[in-house]
Structure 1
Amino acid sequence: MNFNFLCIFSPLLLGVSQSANILGFLPFYGTSHSRITLPFLEELARRGHNVTVAGYFEPKNPPPNYKTILFKPLPGTQLRGFLSVEDFRNSYYMSTMYLINRVNNDYNELIQQNKFDRIFEEKVDLVILEYFESELFSAYASRFGVPYILLHTCEPFPWHRSTLADEYSPSIVPQVFSGRTIDMDFSERFWNTIEIGNMMFYYLSTILPNSQRIAERFLGPVPPVDELMKNASLYLVNVHTSLYGPRPTNPSTIEIGGVHIFPPNPLPAADSLAKEHLGCLNSEFSKAKEASLYFVNTHFSFTGPRPTSPSTIEVGGLHVAPRKPLAQGLQTLMDNAKDGVIFFSMGSVLKGTSMSDDKRDAFLRVFAELKEIVLWKWEGDLPNKPANLHTSPWFPQRDIFAHPNLKLFIGHCGLLGVHEAITEALPIICLPMFGDQPFNAAALKRQGFGLSLEYASITEEMFRETINRVLKEPSFKENAKRVSAAFKDRPMSAMDTAVYWTEYVIRHKGAPHLKSPARYMAWWEYHNVDVLATIAAIVLTVLILLYKMTKSFLTLLFCRRSHIKVKTS
């Protein structure tokens, strides 16, 4: 019966998904961001679409219908390891605002150094724009006159949500640069409101005008870029409710958290890691608003529920690859680790070697006391390295996470690593630095599968106690399994969700029915300030009239009685 059903309806299904010419525009140079955007665009090519990607990164084995237009690297970024750990000893909020300002200025350099003529020569049916402070590029996307989708690689910032009419109430949605969760007391709600107001003011007074100036400098007169962002057909977000908790969103906001997670590849021999990335052996092994959709790399299982519009799609976990068997090298090391393995990495942007000597030595002393094998992503020589510690400038993190002997992940709490750890039900110890990292740390602490330490104030004893607690208390592993089950329990995978909604926009010519009218309303209209003010004015007018009428009546009554008394006397 199922076979007959497929025979009858498969021609119809094949006709629904038509081949389209898709342009992926990826202006941000962060390596971790490319681990979400590129697999998604490659998957679209594998499913028959002609995909052209303008960005800084090129996949190793792209499909034949996948083409790359490479940007010139910007001075001072080097794409990997261009930030120092010690640069972020200040508050999370100030560190992140500094980074946002830098990114906005770097986009100016990007346009100056790269001619976009080749991009405009492309025949395009749909544009997918990475939405990371990239409002100015909405002016470029709109030039094609086709629908476009916004793809966000982390929890959206306040102005991202408000642009597409997703609810961002300070009472229930913590600002992304804070260490708060959705369970806020009065003090936290107070400061959350102040910080969101301050961020919106900074965005409206600095970031947005700067983006407008840059766009007009290179393109001439263009409509307001924030208005162009409102035309997005869909908003794909790399988050998931299982981690952050629920958010109020529109139907056009789709969660695709975990979209980057694929099966783990075979682990390479240890020697090849050091040779490939250092050229030598240094490891112990060898000795907007017009967008049609808004894809968001989140999921309600982690972040909690949010109110969003239909055009915002959660795709948290988009980058998480399916499992594959492991190869020799690291496989043997991890198989023989009877007491388990701990993995420590500060990501691709932060250089481990930029860590201060006192912090590094404190970590080494703690690691030396552990019975577990420790893998540490470290870019150079490491003096006084204990026997149980193995270093390399690069590790296949996703594949290591899939090994059953891995007991703990220690990292800066970048969203991709968190999604990969959730997929494999791993407890986490966070050392957040900037951006959404403190937000992610607070979310996983609330869910009970990890703890967070502030890098600037961490001590050897704190580090030791935290590791021992997470390893020994079973609740951390149990909660990791609970969140992992919720994160993976979806009608479609994150990748299938992202692809489905992308093709949905193509089929429905930009899907204008997903766009909430709230996108185009002023803030006082959206919050009914004008209506409430009118009601208040009417009530006040009625009260004033009643007051005057009562006063006149009482005055008349009093005067009449006085007049009667005078007559009587």
Structure 2
Amino acid sequence: MNVALFITSFLFLRAQCAKILGVFAAPGYSQFILGEVLMTELAKRGHQITVISPYRPKDEPPNYKTILTKEVIGDTNGDDSLWNLESQSLFKNIMSTYDYENGITEKTLQNKEVQELLQSNEHFDLVIVEQFFNDALKGFSAHFKAPLVLFSSMGLTEWNREYMGVPMLPSMNAVSYTQYTNRMTFFQRIRNLYGTIFDYLYRRYFFYPVQRKFLAQYFPSSLDFDKILYNASLMLLNSHVTTSENTLLPYNMVEIGGFHVINKPLDKEIQTFLDGATDGAILFSLGSNLHSSDLSQDTRNAIFQVFAKLKQKILWKFETDLPDKPKNLFIAKWLKQRDILAHPNVKLFITHGGLLSTEEAIFNGVPMVGIPVFADQKMNMARAKSNGVASVVSFSKLSEETLFEAVNETLKNPSYRNNAKRLSSMIKDRPIQPLELAMYWIEYTMRHSGMTFKPSSLYLYWFEMYMVDIACFLLINSLVVFLVIFGLMRICKSKKSDKQKKQ
């Protein structure tokens, strides 16, 4: 009887397990962190996982296979161009991102193991793709005839809402490269309108043709690019109202922001350093793509001068040795940021404003001083500032005076800490934990072989969605009516004039 029960249970579990392909091709290590948490959790649930990525997990489960695409990483760390993005125009930022990610997509598809996978007879029950300027990679879903789940590491953006039928309203949906919130001034709305239109046109007429070429060139089967664009059953968003903004979403777009924040014990040395911070501690990190060691000597000296004035202990992610560092400063090439932020003695986080950093700070109730440089960092910090949890210093205006003023204000004004604690309580207080929610919807998609209930907006052209055709129709009709009335009036006037002449 026990043997029969064991066999039945075994067969049931086998039936519940699936083969899942994850495509997390972006070279940013912070994006891989999100993919790693998502895919390893699926592996823990017994699913057979294959992941295409430039990184592999530190503790790779036995049912988890990595197809390594290290060639996409390049020299993004310490790249001067990343620092220069802070001063580039909105239009240049948009073009640079699309063009750069075209190269990442092609390198991923050129990878020998990726091509071997595409030429194989492999089968997958589901494909999960990080939606990040890589639309040709959605072809994996169509090629393997499996439902498609998209994951957005940046939450809801102007380039991913289109695929799920969410309208982009320039009046309140700020372009990700701006420092705007969704409550914009008149002139901000004008600039945002220009940015929205430019992004749409550049994506459609310059970016899509390249991605369409990749789909035809690197996939062995003939796939329709226009169909795969809108073929996702589900999109998981790395966002939450505390870190993004309140917005309307269709049922198959699910927010799971904060799902990666799983705090673990600190290394003994750092634990001892923080335990001894009786006056509090400050964490300073510019993320995984920017290197603090690439800051100019003048900027570095200005930061040192600020730290020397503070009584708090400071941890700084710095990639080289600093023999002349202040006594209250601890440096390391890599710091376990989310675990450090959980320590009760950490009073402030000086950050570049990446979304993961913002989420981890808010999750742990730590106020921030933001020094945003590129991509969505300005917007993330603008939102954090509007929520009263951050002060912001423009990188181009970073100096001893501006940094000390921001640090001093954020540390001494209790409202920042109180607001951070309030948002921390909100992001934690959820009916179901975000990672569990993600697992439910992923497995729901597999149970139902994808979801076909798509919003009607996906079946409308842009001019139909925004009723431009109706506006033109009414305008033309009004013009015709005006011309008819005007013509009749002229005819009547002419007849009256003729009649008066005859008299």
State the 1:496 CA deviation: 1.6
Q: 1:339 aligned to 2:336?
A: no
Of the three residues 12, 15, 18, the one matched with 2:16 is: 18
Q: 1:155 to 1:128 in 2, by over 3 A?
A: same
The aligned runs of 1:14-413 (5 Å cut-off) are: 18-74=16-72, 76-77=74-75, 86-91=83-88, 93=90, 94-95=92-93, 97-120=95-118, 121=120, 122-219=122-219, 222-223=222-223, 225-262=225-262, 264-268=263-267, 328-413=268-353
> How far apart in 2 are the matches of 1:209 and 1:426?
44
Structure 2: which 5+ runs fail to align? 1-8
2:354 corresponding residue in structure 1: 414
After superposing the two structures, state which structure 1 stretch, 96-105 or 190-199, moved more.
96-105
> How far apart in 1 are the matches of 2:46 and 2:330?
43
> How far apart in 1 are the matches of 2:450 and 2:440?
14
Identity of aligned residues (%): 33
State the 1:126 CA deviation: 0.8
1:536 corresponding residue in structure 2: 475
Verify the 8 A CA contact 1:135 1:226 in the aligned structure 2.
Answer: no
Verify the 8 A CA contact 2:108 2:114 in the aligned structure 1.
Answer: no
After superposing the two structures, state which structure 1 stretch, 531-540 or 388-397, moved more.
531-540
Amino acid at match of 2:315: L
Amino acid at match of 2:411: L
Verify the 8 A CA contact 1:150 1:235 in the aligned structure 2.
Answer: yes
TM (norm. structure 1) is 0.80
Verify the 8 A CA contact 1:84 1:355 in the aligned structure 2.
Answer: no
Verify the 8 A CA contact 2:95 2:202 in the aligned structure 1.
Answer: no
SS at match of 1:150: strand
**Residues 443-475 of structure 1: per-residue CA shift (max 9 Å, x gap):** 101111101111122111111111111000011
After superposing the two structures, state which structure 1 stretch, 398-407 or 163-172, moved more.
163-172
Number of positions where the alignment pairs a residue of Structure 1 with one of Structure 2: 489
Q: 1:540 to 1:223 in 2, by over 3 A?
A: farther
State the 1:427 CA deviation: 0.4
Verify the 8 A CA contact 1:237 1:255 in the aligned structure 2.
Answer: yes
Q: 1:156 to 1:33 in 2, by over 3 A?
A: same
State the 1:60 CA deviation: 2.6
Q: 1:503 aligned to 2:458?
A: no
Amino acid at match of 1:537: I
Amino acid at match of 1:535: L
State the 1:84 CA deviation: 6.8
Q: 1:523 aligned to 2:453?
A: no
State the 1:69 CA deviation: 2.1
Q: 1:512 aligned to 2:460?
A: no
> How far apart in 2 are the matches of 1:435 and 1:96?
9
Amino acid at match of 1:531: I
2:374 corresponding residue in structure 1: 434
SS at match of 2:473: helix
SS at match of 1:475: helix
> How far apart in 1 are the matches of 2:422 and 2:224?
45
> How far apart in 2 are the matches of 1:225 and 1:412?
36
What RMSD in Å do the two structures reach over aligned CA positions? Answer: 2.4
State the 1:497 CA deviation: 1.8
Verify the 8 A CA contact 2:78 2:294 in the aligned structure 1.
Answer: no
After superposing the two structures, state which structure 1 stretch, 169-178 or 207-216, moved more.
207-216
State the 1:387 CA deviation: 0.7
Verify the 8 A CA contact 1:85 1:351 in the aligned structure 2.
Answer: no
Verify the 8 A CA contact 2:28 2:289 in the aligned structure 1.
Answer: yes
2:3 corresponding residue in structure 1: none
Verify the 8 A CA contact 1:84 1:350 in the aligned structure 2.
Answer: no
SS at match of 1:243: coil
State the 1:216 CA deviation: 2.1
Structure 1: which 5+ runs fail to align? 1-10, 269-327
1:444 corresponding residue in structure 2: 384
Q: 1:85 to 1:158 in 2, by over 3 A?
A: closer
Verify the 8 A CA contact 1:164 1:519 in the aligned structure 2.
Answer: yes
Q: 1:226 to 1:90 in 2, by over 3 A?
A: farther
State the 1:72 CA deviation: 3.6
Verify the 8 A CA contact 2:23 2:128 in the aligned structure 1.
Answer: yes
